[in-house]
Chain A
Protein backbone atom coordinates (compact mmCIF):
# COMPACT_ATOMS: atom_id res chain seq x y z
CA UNK A 1 0.00 0.00 0.00
CA UNK A 2 2.81 2.36 0.89
CA UNK A 3 4.56 1.80 -2.45
CA UNK A 4 1.27 2.45 -4.25
CA UNK A 5 0.98 5.80 -2.51
CA UNK A 6 4.56 6.55 -3.31
CA UNK A 7 4.03 5.72 -6.97
CA UNK A 8 0.90 7.87 -7.06
CA UNK A 9 2.87 10.74 -5.59
CA UNK A 10 5.46 10.49 -8.36
CA UNK A 11 2.71 10.41 -10.98
CA UNK A 12 1.17 13.58 -9.56
CA UNK A 13 4.54 15.28 -9.62
CA UNK A 14 4.99 14.30 -13.28
CA UNK A 15 1.49 15.48 -14.19
CA UNK A 16 1.89 18.79 -12.41
CA UNK A 17 5.28 19.38 -14.04
CA UNK A 18 3.59 18.67 -17.37
CA UNK A 19 0.90 21.27 -16.62
CA UNK A 20 3.53 23.81 -15.57
CA UNK A 21 5.30 23.25 -18.88
CA UNK A 22 2.11 23.79 -20.90
CA UNK A 23 1.24 26.89 -18.88
CA UNK A 24 4.76 28.30 -19.10
CA UNK A 25 4.28 30.03 -22.49
CA UNK A 26 1.33 31.96 -21.04
CA UNK A 27 3.29 33.03 -17.98
CA UNK A 28 6.26 33.88 -20.20
CA UNK A 29 4.09 36.24 -22.28
CA UNK A 30 2.48 37.94 -19.28
CA UNK A 31 5.74 38.45 -17.41
CA UNK A 32 7.66 39.83 -20.40
CA UNK A 33 4.81 42.13 -21.38
CA UNK A 34 5.44 44.03 -18.14
CA UNK A 35 9.23 44.17 -18.51
CA UNK A 36 11.35 46.83 -20.14
CA UNK A 37 12.94 45.61 -23.36
CA UNK A 38 16.49 45.65 -21.96
CA UNK A 39 15.41 43.69 -18.91
CA UNK A 40 13.53 41.15 -21.03
CA UNK A 41 16.81 40.34 -22.76
CA UNK A 42 19.13 40.38 -19.75
CA UNK A 43 16.92 38.38 -17.42
CA UNK A 44 14.79 36.24 -19.72
CA UNK A 45 14.34 33.52 -17.12
CA UNK A 46 12.96 35.59 -14.28
CA UNK A 47 9.18 35.54 -14.22
CA UNK A 48 8.65 38.63 -12.08
CA UNK A 49 9.67 41.93 -13.69
CA UNK A 50 12.24 43.80 -11.63
CA UNK A 51 10.95 47.10 -12.89
CA UNK A 52 7.26 46.81 -13.61
CA UNK A 53 6.23 48.86 -16.66
CA UNK A 54 3.08 49.45 -18.71
CA UNK A 55 4.92 51.08 -21.59
CA UNK A 56 4.55 48.02 -23.84
CA UNK A 57 0.78 48.35 -23.61
CA UNK A 58 0.76 52.12 -24.04
CA UNK A 59 3.23 51.66 -26.91
CA UNK A 60 0.63 49.55 -28.70
CA UNK A 61 -1.81 52.44 -28.69
CA UNK A 62 0.77 54.64 -30.42
CA UNK A 63 1.85 52.16 -33.09
CA UNK A 64 -1.35 50.44 -34.23
CA UNK A 65 -5.10 51.23 -34.01
CA UNK A 66 -5.43 48.67 -31.23
CA UNK A 67 -8.89 49.79 -30.08
CA UNK A 68 -10.31 49.48 -33.60
CA UNK A 69 -8.60 46.12 -34.07
CA UNK A 70 -10.06 44.81 -30.81
CA UNK A 71 -13.53 46.04 -31.82
CA UNK A 72 -13.15 44.33 -35.23
CA UNK A 73 -12.28 41.08 -33.48
CA UNK A 74 -15.19 41.45 -31.09
CA UNK A 75 -17.72 42.16 -33.86
CA UNK A 76 -16.42 39.35 -36.07
CA UNK A 77 -16.43 36.77 -33.29
CA UNK A 78 -19.84 37.85 -31.92
CA UNK A 79 -21.65 37.87 -35.26
CA UNK A 80 -20.14 34.53 -36.31
CA UNK A 81 -21.12 33.00 -32.96
CA UNK A 82 -24.72 34.25 -33.01
CA UNK A 83 -25.18 33.20 -36.65
CA UNK A 84 -23.66 29.74 -36.18
CA UNK A 85 -25.63 29.00 -33.02
CA UNK A 86 -28.91 30.26 -34.53
CA UNK A 87 -28.58 28.30 -37.78
CA UNK A 88 -27.43 25.22 -35.85
CA UNK A 89 -30.27 25.46 -33.35
CA UNK A 90 -32.93 25.64 -36.08
CA UNK A 91 -31.38 22.81 -38.07
CA UNK A 92 -30.98 20.60 -35.00
CA UNK A 93 -34.61 21.27 -34.04
CA UNK A 94 -35.79 20.16 -37.49
CA UNK A 95 -33.66 17.02 -37.34
CA UNK A 96 -34.70 15.96 -33.86
CA UNK A 97 -38.42 16.84 -33.82
CA UNK A 98 -39.65 16.29 -37.36
CA UNK A 99 -39.93 13.37 -39.73
CA UNK A 100 -39.22 14.25 -43.34
CA UNK A 101 -37.86 12.71 -46.51
CA UNK A 102 -34.10 12.11 -46.72
CA UNK A 103 -33.65 13.15 -43.10
CA UNK A 104 -30.81 10.76 -42.34
CA UNK A 105 -29.07 11.48 -45.62
CA UNK A 106 -29.34 15.22 -45.02
CA UNK A 107 -27.90 14.90 -41.53
CA UNK A 108 -25.11 12.67 -42.75
CA UNK A 109 -24.25 15.06 -45.60
CA UNK A 110 -24.19 18.00 -43.16
CA UNK A 111 -21.81 16.17 -40.82
CA UNK A 112 -19.52 15.28 -43.74
CA UNK A 113 -18.86 18.99 -44.39
CA UNK A 114 -16.85 19.02 -41.13
CA UNK A 115 -14.15 17.00 -42.87
CA UNK A 116 -13.70 19.24 -45.91
CA UNK A 117 -10.31 21.00 -45.64
CA UNK A 118 -10.37 24.79 -46.06
CA UNK A 119 -8.05 24.63 -49.06
CA UNK A 120 -10.90 23.03 -51.01
CA UNK A 121 -13.16 26.05 -50.55
CA UNK A 122 -10.75 28.97 -50.23
CA UNK A 123 -10.34 29.95 -53.92
CA UNK A 124 -14.06 30.00 -54.81
CA UNK A 125 -14.92 31.77 -51.55
CA UNK A 126 -12.18 34.31 -52.18
CA UNK A 127 -13.71 34.95 -55.62
CA UNK A 128 -17.24 35.24 -54.15
CA UNK A 129 -16.10 37.73 -51.51
CA UNK A 130 -14.20 39.77 -54.15
CA UNK A 131 -17.25 39.74 -56.41
CA UNK A 132 -19.39 41.05 -53.53
CA UNK A 133 -16.87 43.84 -52.90
CA UNK A 134 -16.22 42.58 -49.38
CA UNK A 135 -12.43 42.28 -49.69
CA UNK A 136 -10.59 43.93 -46.82
CA UNK A 137 -13.84 44.07 -44.85
CA UNK A 138 -14.74 42.10 -41.72
CA UNK A 139 -18.09 41.19 -43.32
CA UNK A 140 -16.11 39.30 -45.91
CA UNK A 141 -14.61 37.33 -43.02
CA UNK A 142 -18.01 36.76 -41.39
CA UNK A 143 -20.20 35.83 -44.37
CA UNK A 144 -18.80 32.38 -45.26
CA UNK A 145 -18.71 31.37 -41.58
CA UNK A 146 -22.35 31.69 -40.55
CA UNK A 147 -23.17 27.98 -40.47
CA UNK A 148 -21.19 25.12 -38.97
CA UNK A 149 -22.07 21.44 -38.92
CA UNK A 150 -20.22 21.02 -35.63
CA UNK A 151 -22.87 23.21 -33.99
CA UNK A 152 -25.67 21.21 -35.62
CA UNK A 153 -24.06 18.06 -34.31
CA UNK A 154 -23.58 19.30 -30.75
CA UNK A 155 -27.11 20.69 -30.45
CA UNK A 156 -28.68 17.63 -32.07
CA UNK A 157 -26.92 15.46 -29.50
CA UNK A 158 -28.23 17.51 -26.63
CA UNK A 159 -31.82 17.84 -27.99
CA UNK A 160 -32.00 14.07 -28.40
CA UNK A 161 -31.77 13.91 -24.62
CA UNK A 162 -35.11 15.73 -24.14
CA UNK A 163 -38.15 13.46 -23.89
CA UNK A 164 -40.17 13.67 -27.12
CA UNK A 165 -43.48 13.44 -25.22
CA UNK A 166 -42.89 16.90 -23.83
CA UNK A 167 -42.84 18.44 -27.29
CA UNK A 168 -45.73 16.29 -28.52
CA UNK A 169 -47.86 17.58 -25.66
CA UNK A 170 -46.99 21.17 -26.46
CA UNK A 171 -47.80 20.58 -30.13
CA UNK A 172 -51.20 19.13 -29.19
CA UNK A 173 -51.92 22.22 -27.13
CA UNK A 174 -51.41 24.22 -30.32
CA UNK A 175 -48.56 26.22 -28.89
CA UNK A 176 -46.84 28.03 -31.77
CA UNK A 177 -43.48 26.51 -32.70
CA UNK A 178 -41.50 29.56 -31.80
CA UNK A 179 -42.78 29.36 -28.21
CA UNK A 180 -42.05 25.64 -28.06
CA UNK A 181 -38.48 26.47 -29.04
CA UNK A 182 -38.14 29.42 -26.72
CA UNK A 183 -40.01 28.18 -23.63
CA UNK A 184 -39.55 24.42 -23.76
CA UNK A 185 -36.46 23.46 -25.74
CA UNK A 186 -34.09 26.35 -25.14
CA UNK A 187 -34.14 26.17 -21.33
CA UNK A 188 -33.46 22.43 -21.47
CA UNK A 189 -30.52 22.62 -23.86
CA UNK A 190 -29.14 25.81 -22.35
CA UNK A 191 -25.90 24.23 -21.08
CA UNK A 192 -25.14 22.88 -24.57
CA UNK A 193 -26.09 26.19 -26.22
CA UNK A 194 -23.90 28.10 -23.77
CA UNK A 195 -20.83 25.97 -24.25
CA UNK A 196 -21.28 25.74 -28.02
CA UNK A 197 -21.52 29.54 -28.12
CA UNK A 198 -18.44 30.02 -25.98
CA UNK A 199 -16.53 27.50 -28.07
CA UNK A 200 -17.53 29.15 -31.37
CA UNK A 201 -16.68 32.56 -29.96
CA UNK A 202 -13.21 31.43 -28.92
CA UNK A 203 -12.61 29.77 -32.31
CA UNK A 204 -13.76 32.86 -34.21
CA UNK A 205 -11.75 35.17 -31.96
CA UNK A 206 -8.61 33.17 -32.71
CA UNK A 207 -9.41 32.65 -36.40
CA UNK A 208 -6.43 33.32 -38.64
CA UNK A 209 -6.59 31.33 -41.88
CA UNK A 210 -9.54 33.01 -43.57
CA UNK A 211 -9.03 36.60 -42.30
CA UNK A 212 -5.43 36.49 -43.51
CA UNK A 213 -6.74 36.07 -47.06
CA UNK A 214 -9.41 38.76 -46.79
CA UNK A 215 -8.09 41.56 -44.57
CA UNK A 216 -5.32 43.67 -46.07
CA UNK A 217 -4.87 46.89 -44.12
CA UNK A 218 -4.00 47.31 -40.45
CA UNK A 219 -7.13 49.24 -39.48
CA UNK A 220 -9.30 46.33 -40.67
CA UNK A 221 -7.24 43.63 -38.96
CA UNK A 222 -8.38 41.35 -36.18
CA UNK A 223 -6.05 40.68 -33.22
CA UNK A 224 -4.37 37.50 -34.53
CA UNK A 225 -3.57 39.32 -37.78
CA UNK A 226 -2.18 42.34 -35.96
CA UNK A 227 0.18 39.99 -34.14
CA UNK A 228 1.80 39.16 -37.47
CA UNK A 229 3.20 42.67 -37.54
CA UNK A 230 5.40 41.75 -34.58
CA UNK A 231 6.73 38.42 -35.70
CA UNK A 232 10.27 39.14 -36.88
CA UNK A 233 12.16 37.43 -34.10
CA UNK A 234 15.42 38.39 -35.78
CA UNK A 235 15.15 42.09 -34.96
CA UNK A 236 13.76 41.59 -31.50
CA UNK A 237 13.13 45.29 -30.90
CA UNK A 238 9.41 44.59 -30.70
CA UNK A 239 9.67 41.62 -28.39
CA UNK A 240 7.99 43.05 -25.29
CA UNK A 241 5.31 44.80 -27.36
CA UNK A 242 4.59 41.50 -29.14
CA UNK A 243 4.16 39.93 -25.70
CA UNK A 244 1.71 42.68 -24.67
CA UNK A 245 -0.34 42.12 -27.83
CA UNK A 246 -0.24 38.35 -27.21
CA UNK A 247 -1.60 38.93 -23.72
CA UNK A 248 -4.44 41.09 -25.08
CA UNK A 249 -5.24 38.46 -27.72
CA UNK A 250 -5.44 35.59 -25.26
CA UNK A 251 -7.07 37.45 -22.37
CA UNK A 252 -10.69 37.15 -23.57
CA UNK A 253 -10.62 33.44 -24.53
CA UNK A 254 -8.80 32.59 -21.29
CA UNK A 255 -11.23 34.63 -19.21
CA UNK A 256 -14.26 33.05 -20.89
CA UNK A 257 -12.81 29.60 -20.41
CA UNK A 258 -12.07 30.12 -16.74
CA UNK A 259 -15.61 31.40 -16.14
CA UNK A 260 -17.34 28.65 -18.13
CA UNK A 261 -14.85 25.81 -17.67
CA UNK A 262 -17.36 23.46 -16.02
CA UNK A 263 -19.87 23.94 -18.85
CA UNK A 264 -17.30 23.48 -21.57
CA UNK A 265 -15.61 20.43 -20.10
CA UNK A 266 -19.00 18.82 -19.37
CA UNK A 267 -20.32 19.37 -22.87
CA UNK A 268 -17.22 17.93 -24.47
CA UNK A 269 -17.27 14.97 -22.10
CA UNK A 270 -20.95 14.18 -22.53
CA UNK A 271 -21.72 15.15 -26.12
CA UNK A 272 -19.86 11.94 -26.89
CA UNK A 273 -18.61 12.82 -30.32
CA UNK A 274 -18.42 9.47 -32.06
Chain B
Protein backbone atom coordinates (compact mmCIF):
# COMPACT_ATOMS: atom_id res chain seq x y z
CA UNK B 1 0.00 0.00 0.00
CA UNK B 2 2.64 2.47 1.11
CA UNK B 3 4.83 1.34 -1.77
CA UNK B 4 2.05 2.37 -4.17
CA UNK B 5 1.87 5.85 -2.71
CA UNK B 6 5.58 6.45 -2.83
CA UNK B 7 5.93 7.70 -6.42
CA UNK B 8 3.21 10.29 -5.80
CA UNK B 9 4.91 11.31 -2.59
CA UNK B 10 8.22 11.83 -4.39
CA UNK B 11 6.60 13.75 -7.22
CA UNK B 12 4.52 15.91 -4.90
CA UNK B 13 7.04 18.66 -4.04
CA UNK B 14 7.93 19.37 -7.67
CA UNK B 15 4.35 19.10 -8.89
CA UNK B 16 2.87 21.25 -6.12
CA UNK B 17 5.49 23.97 -6.66
CA UNK B 18 5.06 23.94 -10.42
CA UNK B 19 1.27 23.98 -10.08
CA UNK B 20 1.25 26.90 -7.65
CA UNK B 21 3.89 29.04 -9.36
CA UNK B 22 3.57 28.07 -13.02
CA UNK B 23 0.38 26.30 -14.06
CA UNK B 24 -2.22 28.11 -11.93
CA UNK B 25 -0.63 31.51 -12.67
CA UNK B 26 -0.80 30.67 -16.36
CA UNK B 27 -4.56 30.02 -16.07
CA UNK B 28 -5.03 33.17 -14.03
CA UNK B 29 -3.13 35.22 -16.63
CA UNK B 30 -5.45 33.84 -19.30
CA UNK B 31 -8.37 34.98 -17.12
CA UNK B 32 -6.84 38.44 -16.60
CA UNK B 33 -6.38 38.86 -20.34
CA UNK B 34 -10.17 39.28 -20.68
CA UNK B 35 -10.29 42.10 -18.12
CA UNK B 36 -9.33 45.72 -17.84
CA UNK B 37 -7.42 46.12 -14.58
CA UNK B 38 -4.53 48.08 -13.09
CA UNK B 39 -3.37 45.52 -10.47
CA UNK B 40 -4.45 47.78 -7.59
CA UNK B 41 -8.10 48.63 -8.12
CA UNK B 42 -10.50 46.29 -6.27
CA UNK B 43 -12.66 45.84 -9.37
CA UNK B 44 -11.79 44.31 -12.70
CA UNK B 45 -13.87 45.19 -15.72
CA UNK B 46 -14.69 42.37 -18.15
CA UNK B 47 -13.84 43.46 -21.68
CA UNK B 48 -14.00 40.21 -23.63
CA UNK B 49 -11.46 40.10 -26.43
CA UNK B 50 -10.79 43.85 -26.39
CA UNK B 51 -7.23 43.48 -25.09
CA UNK B 52 -6.38 41.09 -27.92
CA UNK B 53 -8.08 43.24 -30.55
CA UNK B 54 -6.29 46.30 -29.25
CA UNK B 55 -2.92 44.53 -29.49
CA UNK B 56 -3.50 43.40 -33.07
CA UNK B 57 -4.70 46.83 -34.25
CA UNK B 58 -2.57 49.23 -32.22
CA UNK B 59 0.46 50.67 -34.06
CA UNK B 60 2.81 50.30 -31.10
CA UNK B 61 2.05 46.64 -30.53
CA UNK B 62 2.13 45.94 -34.26
CA UNK B 63 5.65 47.36 -34.24
CA UNK B 64 6.48 45.21 -31.20
CA UNK B 65 5.23 42.06 -32.93
CA UNK B 66 7.27 42.93 -36.02
CA UNK B 67 10.33 43.49 -33.79
CA UNK B 68 9.75 40.11 -32.16
CA UNK B 69 10.04 38.39 -35.53
CA UNK B 70 13.06 40.51 -36.38
CA UNK B 71 14.69 39.32 -33.13
CA UNK B 72 13.81 35.73 -34.00
CA UNK B 73 15.52 35.98 -37.40
CA UNK B 74 18.67 37.58 -35.99
CA UNK B 75 18.86 35.16 -33.05
CA UNK B 76 18.44 32.15 -35.35
CA UNK B 77 21.23 33.44 -37.57
CA UNK B 78 23.65 34.01 -34.67
CA UNK B 79 22.67 31.12 -32.43
CA UNK B 80 21.62 28.37 -34.81
CA UNK B 81 23.16 28.85 -38.22
CA UNK B 82 26.58 30.11 -37.16
CA UNK B 83 26.68 27.77 -34.17
CA UNK B 84 25.90 24.78 -36.39
CA UNK B 85 28.75 25.68 -38.73
CA UNK B 86 31.13 26.01 -35.78
CA UNK B 87 30.01 22.63 -34.41
CA UNK B 88 30.75 21.05 -37.79
CA UNK B 89 34.14 22.72 -38.10
CA UNK B 90 35.24 21.65 -34.62
CA UNK B 91 33.73 18.21 -35.07
CA UNK B 92 35.09 17.30 -38.52
CA UNK B 93 37.38 19.87 -40.05
CA UNK B 94 39.97 20.73 -37.42
CA UNK B 95 41.89 17.85 -35.90
CA UNK B 96 43.36 19.24 -32.69
CA UNK B 97 42.43 21.27 -29.61
CA UNK B 98 38.78 20.18 -29.77
CA UNK B 99 38.57 19.94 -25.96
CA UNK B 100 40.09 23.39 -25.56
CA UNK B 101 37.63 24.96 -27.98
CA UNK B 102 34.65 23.39 -26.21
CA UNK B 103 35.75 24.74 -22.84
CA UNK B 104 36.68 28.18 -24.18
CA UNK B 105 33.50 28.70 -26.19
CA UNK B 106 31.40 28.04 -23.11
CA UNK B 107 33.02 30.70 -20.89
CA UNK B 108 30.65 33.61 -21.67
CA UNK B 109 27.66 31.33 -21.02
CA UNK B 110 28.25 31.50 -17.27
CA UNK B 111 28.32 35.29 -17.08
CA UNK B 112 25.33 37.40 -16.03
CA UNK B 113 23.51 39.12 -18.88
CA UNK B 114 23.44 42.31 -16.81
CA UNK B 115 27.24 42.22 -16.74
CA UNK B 116 27.25 41.43 -20.46
CA UNK B 117 24.89 44.33 -21.18
CA UNK B 118 27.02 46.79 -19.24
CA UNK B 119 30.27 45.60 -20.78
CA UNK B 120 28.92 45.80 -24.32
CA UNK B 121 27.40 49.22 -23.66
CA UNK B 122 30.90 50.46 -22.84
CA UNK B 123 32.81 48.49 -25.44
CA UNK B 124 30.45 49.62 -28.20
CA UNK B 125 30.06 53.17 -26.91
CA UNK B 126 30.05 55.26 -30.11
CA UNK B 127 32.35 57.96 -28.70
CA UNK B 128 34.72 56.57 -26.10
CA UNK B 129 34.48 52.79 -26.46
CA UNK B 130 37.45 50.71 -27.63
CA UNK B 131 35.68 49.69 -30.85
CA UNK B 132 35.02 53.35 -31.70
CA UNK B 133 38.65 54.25 -30.96
CA UNK B 134 39.99 51.46 -33.18
CA UNK B 135 37.44 52.39 -35.85
CA UNK B 136 38.61 55.98 -35.77
CA UNK B 137 42.17 54.85 -36.54
CA UNK B 138 40.86 53.30 -39.74
CA UNK B 139 38.63 56.23 -40.49
CA UNK B 140 35.17 54.92 -39.76
CA UNK B 141 32.80 55.72 -36.92
CA UNK B 142 30.34 53.70 -34.87
CA UNK B 143 26.69 54.64 -35.33
CA UNK B 144 24.67 55.48 -32.24
CA UNK B 145 23.23 51.96 -32.26
CA UNK B 146 21.09 52.22 -29.13
CA UNK B 147 19.09 54.99 -30.80
CA UNK B 148 18.94 53.50 -34.30
CA UNK B 149 15.95 51.40 -35.37
CA UNK B 150 16.92 47.97 -36.61
CA UNK B 151 20.55 48.23 -35.58
CA UNK B 152 19.54 48.29 -31.92
CA UNK B 153 17.85 44.90 -32.32
CA UNK B 154 20.94 43.44 -33.98
CA UNK B 155 23.27 44.66 -31.22
CA UNK B 156 20.99 43.51 -28.38
CA UNK B 157 20.71 40.10 -30.06
CA UNK B 158 24.47 40.03 -30.35
CA UNK B 159 24.79 40.47 -26.57
CA UNK B 160 22.41 37.55 -25.98
CA UNK B 161 24.24 35.48 -28.60
CA UNK B 162 27.52 36.13 -26.84
CA UNK B 163 26.01 34.46 -23.79
CA UNK B 164 24.05 31.65 -25.45
CA UNK B 165 26.57 30.61 -28.11
CA UNK B 166 28.58 28.25 -25.86
CA UNK B 167 25.60 26.29 -24.61
CA UNK B 168 24.06 25.85 -28.05
CA UNK B 169 27.46 24.94 -29.41
CA UNK B 170 27.97 22.10 -26.90
CA UNK B 171 24.56 20.56 -27.55
CA UNK B 172 24.91 20.82 -31.34
CA UNK B 173 28.48 19.54 -31.22
CA UNK B 174 27.38 16.42 -29.36
CA UNK B 175 24.79 15.70 -31.99
CA UNK B 176 27.03 16.52 -34.95
CA UNK B 177 29.81 14.18 -33.81
CA UNK B 178 27.17 11.51 -33.19
CA UNK B 179 26.83 11.09 -36.96
CA UNK B 180 28.43 7.83 -38.02
CA UNK B 181 32.13 8.22 -38.74
CA UNK B 182 32.06 5.61 -41.53
CA UNK B 183 29.63 7.61 -43.63
CA UNK B 184 31.77 10.72 -43.35
CA UNK B 185 34.97 8.81 -44.12
CA UNK B 186 33.33 7.21 -47.15
CA UNK B 187 32.20 10.62 -48.39
CA UNK B 188 35.71 11.97 -47.89
CA UNK B 189 37.18 9.10 -49.96
CA UNK B 190 34.78 10.05 -52.73
CA UNK B 191 36.26 13.55 -52.59
CA UNK B 192 33.00 15.13 -51.53
CA UNK B 193 33.61 18.67 -50.28
CA UNK B 194 33.15 19.62 -46.63
CA UNK B 195 30.31 21.93 -47.60
CA UNK B 196 28.41 19.06 -49.24
CA UNK B 197 29.15 16.72 -46.32
CA UNK B 198 27.72 19.33 -43.99
CA UNK B 199 24.59 20.03 -46.02
CA UNK B 200 23.82 16.53 -47.31
CA UNK B 201 24.93 14.30 -44.45
CA UNK B 202 25.52 16.04 -41.13
CA UNK B 203 22.61 18.49 -41.26
CA UNK B 204 19.86 15.93 -41.95
CA UNK B 205 21.32 13.37 -39.53
CA UNK B 206 21.50 15.80 -36.64
CA UNK B 207 18.32 17.67 -37.47
CA UNK B 208 16.32 16.55 -34.41
CA UNK B 209 18.79 18.29 -32.13
CA UNK B 210 19.04 21.11 -34.63
CA UNK B 211 15.32 21.69 -34.39
CA UNK B 212 15.44 21.53 -30.61
CA UNK B 213 18.12 24.24 -30.61
CA UNK B 214 16.04 26.26 -33.06
CA UNK B 215 13.05 26.22 -30.69
CA UNK B 216 15.24 26.90 -27.68
CA UNK B 217 16.79 29.85 -29.50
CA UNK B 218 13.37 31.37 -30.06
CA UNK B 219 11.78 30.52 -26.69
CA UNK B 220 14.81 31.33 -24.54
CA UNK B 221 16.37 33.95 -26.78
CA UNK B 222 13.31 36.20 -26.72
CA UNK B 223 13.24 35.98 -22.92
CA UNK B 224 16.99 36.47 -22.54
CA UNK B 225 16.83 39.59 -24.67
CA UNK B 226 14.62 41.12 -21.98
CA UNK B 227 17.70 41.85 -19.85
CA UNK B 228 19.69 43.96 -22.34
CA UNK B 229 16.47 45.73 -23.37
CA UNK B 230 15.67 46.59 -19.75
CA UNK B 231 19.24 47.52 -18.89
CA UNK B 232 20.22 49.45 -22.03
CA UNK B 233 17.23 50.79 -23.97
CA UNK B 234 14.01 50.29 -21.92
CA UNK B 235 12.39 49.36 -25.23
CA UNK B 236 13.49 52.53 -27.03
CA UNK B 237 13.99 54.31 -29.33
CA UNK B 238 10.20 54.73 -29.51
CA UNK B 239 9.51 50.98 -28.95
CA UNK B 240 12.17 50.20 -31.58
CA UNK B 241 13.81 47.50 -29.46
CA UNK B 242 10.80 46.20 -27.54
CA UNK B 243 9.58 42.66 -28.15
CA UNK B 244 6.52 40.75 -26.91
CA UNK B 245 8.27 39.79 -23.67
CA UNK B 246 9.53 43.26 -22.79
CA UNK B 247 6.24 44.87 -23.83
CA UNK B 248 4.30 42.54 -21.49
CA UNK B 249 6.59 43.65 -18.65
CA UNK B 250 6.20 47.29 -19.67
CA UNK B 251 2.39 47.12 -19.76
CA UNK B 252 2.21 45.35 -16.38
CA UNK B 253 4.83 47.11 -14.29
CA UNK B 254 5.39 50.49 -15.93
CA UNK B 255 1.96 51.60 -17.16
CA UNK B 256 -0.12 49.17 -15.05
CA UNK B 257 -2.31 47.79 -17.83
CA UNK B 258 -2.60 44.28 -16.47
CA UNK B 259 -5.06 43.04 -19.10
CA UNK B 260 -2.88 44.24 -21.98
CA UNK B 261 0.14 42.57 -20.43
CA UNK B 262 -1.74 39.31 -19.88
CA UNK B 263 -2.98 39.29 -23.48
CA UNK B 264 0.56 39.94 -24.78
CA UNK B 265 1.83 37.07 -22.63
CA UNK B 266 -0.87 34.72 -23.93
CA UNK B 267 -0.02 35.65 -27.53
CA UNK B 268 3.65 34.86 -26.80
CA UNK B 269 2.64 31.54 -25.29
CA UNK B 270 0.49 30.77 -28.33
CA UNK B 271 3.47 31.36 -30.64
CA UNK B 272 5.61 29.01 -28.51
CA UNK B 273 2.91 26.34 -28.46
CA UNK B 274 2.58 26.48 -32.24
CA UNK B 275 6.35 26.03 -32.55
CA UNK B 276 6.28 22.98 -30.28
CA UNK B 277 3.35 21.48 -32.16
CA UNK B 278 5.27 21.95 -35.39
CA UNK B 279 8.13 20.05 -33.85
CA UNK B 280 5.87 17.17 -32.82
CA UNK B 281 3.89 16.94 -36.02
CA UNK B 282 6.65 17.52 -38.47
CA UNK B 283 10.03 16.86 -36.98
CA UNK B 284 9.45 13.89 -34.71
CA UNK B 285 7.96 11.91 -37.61
CA UNK B 286 9.97 12.85 -40.63
CA UNK B 287 13.39 13.73 -39.47
CA UNK B 288 16.10 11.17 -39.11
CA UNK B 289 16.35 10.41 -35.45
CA UNK B 290 19.94 10.20 -34.34
CA UNK B 291 19.60 7.62 -31.60
CA UNK B 292 16.93 5.34 -32.96
Contacts and interface: CB of A to CB of B under 8 A. Distances in A.
Interface stretch (B47-55, B111-119, B195-203): B111-119
Contacts of A106: 11, 15
A143 B94 CA distance: 47
Interface stretch (A62-70, A162-170, A205-213): A205-213
A160 B162 CA distance: 33
Contacts of B262: 123
Interface string B241-267: 000110011001100001001101110
B174 interface: yes
Contacts of A119: 244-245, 248-249, 252, 261, 264-265, 268
Contacts of A212: 230
B122 interface: yes
A102 to B, nearest CB: 10
A45 interface: yes
A15 B94 contact: yes
A120 B26 contact: yes
Contact of A117 (B212, B261, B269): B269
Interface residues of B, number: 96
Interface string B2-35: 0010111111011101101111111011001000
Nearest to B4: A100
A93 interface: yes
A228 B115 CA distance: 9
Which size class do A's interface residues fall under? 35 or more
8 contacts: A25-B108, A106-B15, A110-B18, A117-B272, A177-B6, A212-B230, A224-B115, A273-B209
Given A117-B268, A125-B25, A272-B174, 13 more contacts: A91-B14, A94-B8, A100-B4, A100-B7, A110-B15, A116-B26, A116-B269, A117-B269, A149-B14, A246-B118, A246-B119, A249-B114, A256-B110
Contacts of B25: 120-121, 123-125, 128
B112 A117 contact: no
A125 B129 CA distance: 40
A88 B10 CA distance: 9
A257 B118 contact: no
B47 to A, nearest CB: 16
A121 B261 CA distance: 11
Contacts of B268: 117, 119-120
A24 B39 CA distance: 44
Given A28-B123, A206-B112, A249-B115, A120 B14 contact: no
B151 interface: no
A87 B20 CA distance: 14
Minimum-distance CB pairs A-B, first 5: A124-B25, A147-B17, A98-B7, A206-B112, A94-B10
